[in-house]
Amino acid sequence: MKPIAIFRHASTEGPGYFASFLDARRRPWQLIAIDAGEPVPASPEAFAGLVFMGGPMSVNDDLPWIPPVLALIRSAVAADIPVLGHCLGGQLMAKALGGSVGRNPVKEIGWGPVMVADNDAARSWFGDLAGFDAFHWHGETFTPPPGAVPVLASAHCANQAFVLGKHLGLQCHVEMTEPMIREWCAVGAGEIDESAASPGVQRPEAMLAITAGRLPGLHAAAEGLYSRWLAGAAG
């Protein structure tokens, strides 16, 4: 069975709950640590699917690995190999497929509700779920690429997810675990302080106080999305 390729762009932004999801189903996966200098594969054909995690950089930055990643995403979509993106990963997908990425009206950091759109694509991926509390950490956002359907929105970000056939691009984070959230709060304390005036930013103590109560719902939503996505990833 071909593995799922998981691309990590920052050491603190690993696969989290997604890795646990795959392990529980005995689906092989391979971490490609871009942050550690691992090269971008020239072709997606060795993998059952491609998954891109988050990162503090912008897809518009002049970084040597971004052009080959964008080309790889386009090749995977052309070859009908499913692609899944989380935050930066969703932005990489949007840019690769013809959308744009720019500054969001406000920065979002912490827990906040997302609403499921009223369209057939959203129902196909979310079933009867009307919304859930997602985790956010972004200052930029995407426009859905041509042919894609928006399926999630929040009060502070109109485009929280898009679907393009078997491909899913997320702006929010559904992969979070409590250790990841604690680590991000520690590493990102300065960014939180600088962005404290934003209505979409929570203080670390506030987000950590509600994390235990929010994670079960987040993981349930992730389970549904990941299951739907994995169904398109042939061995």
In the prediction, which pLDDT does 92 show? Answer: 98
C-alpha to C-alpha distance for 175 and 215, rounded to whole angstroms: 10
- pLDDT tops 70 at residue 132: yes
Find the CATH number of the domain harbouring 81.
3.40.50.880
- What mean pLDDT is predicted for residues 107-121? 97
Indicate whether 203 belongs to any domain: yes
Note down the domain range covering 61. 4-230
Indicate whether 144 belongs to any domain: yes
Per DSSP, helices labelled H in 79-177 are: 88-96, 120-126
Indicate whether 178 belongs to any domain: yes
What length does the chain have?
Answer: 235
In the prediction, which pLDDT does 197 show? Answer: 85
Indicate whether 38 belongs to any domain: yes
Indicate whether 24 belongs to any domain: yes
In the block, residue with structure tokens 């989380």: 86
- What mean pLDDT is predicted for residues 101-127? 97
Q: What is the mean pLDDT of the chain?
A: 97
- What mean pLDDT is predicted for residues 158-174? 98
- pLDDT tops 80 at residue 234: no
Indicate whether 235 belongs to any domain: no
In the prediction, which pLDDT does 196 show? Answer: 83
Indicate whether 61 belongs to any domain: yes
Indicate whether 200 belongs to any domain: yes
In the prediction, which pLDDT does 235 show? Answer: 60
pTM of the full predicted structure? Answer: 0.97
Q: How many domains does the chain have?
A: 1
In the prediction, which pLDDT does 189 show? Answer: 94
pLDDT tens, residue by residue, 57-106: 999 999 999 999 999 999 999 999 999 999 999 999 999 999 999 999 99
- What mean pLDDT is predicted for residues 1-25? 97
In order, the DSSP letters of 168-233 are: EEESSB----HHHHHHHHHHTHHHHHHTTTSTTB--HHHHHHHHHHHHHHHHHHHHHHHHHHHTT-
